[in-house]
């Protein structure tokens, strides 16, 4: 969790498969500046070779099973891609 990637500290990362999961709460990600910053951050992380998936705080708190299944599926997909590469 929160390990530096370039100039960022993503919420969660799996370095061995190049996956980052970000969690966006409204207070920290509301408004034009936050919107632009989030987009630039995601693009920078992708340029570094990471696959980035994002969840809202509401998704995490209201639908944790769905979030967990999506993360597990993405981990499996990234692992399969890593084996092919």
Residue 6 in domain: no
- Domain annotation covers residue 28: yes
* Structural domains of the chain, count: 1
pTM: 0.80
Does residue 4 sit within a domain? no
- Cα 85 to Cα 79: distance, rounded to the nearest angstrom: 10
Residue 63 resides in a domain: yes
Mean pLDDT per 10-residue segment, the chain (85 residues): 76 93 74 78 91 94 96 94 77
Q: Is residue 2 included in any domain, yes or no?
A: no
Q: Helix, strand, coil proportions of the chain in percent (round to 5)? A: 55, 20, 25
For residue 31, CA distances in Å to 28, 43, 60 come to 9, 19, 21
Q: What is the pLDDT of residue 74?
A: 95
In a domain, 45, yes or no: yes
Range of the domain at 37: 12-84
């Amino acid at each position: 969790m929160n390990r530096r990637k370039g100039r960022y500290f993503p919420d969660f990362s799996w370095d061995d498969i190049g996956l980052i999961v970000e969690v966006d709460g409204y207070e920290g990600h509301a408004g034009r500046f936050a919107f632009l910053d989030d987009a630039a951050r995601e693009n920078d992380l992708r340029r570094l070779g990471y696959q980035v998936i994002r969840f809202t705080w509401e998704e995490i708190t209201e639908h944790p099973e769905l979030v967990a299944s999506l993360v597990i599926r993405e981990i499996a997909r990234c692992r399969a891609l890593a084996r092919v590469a």
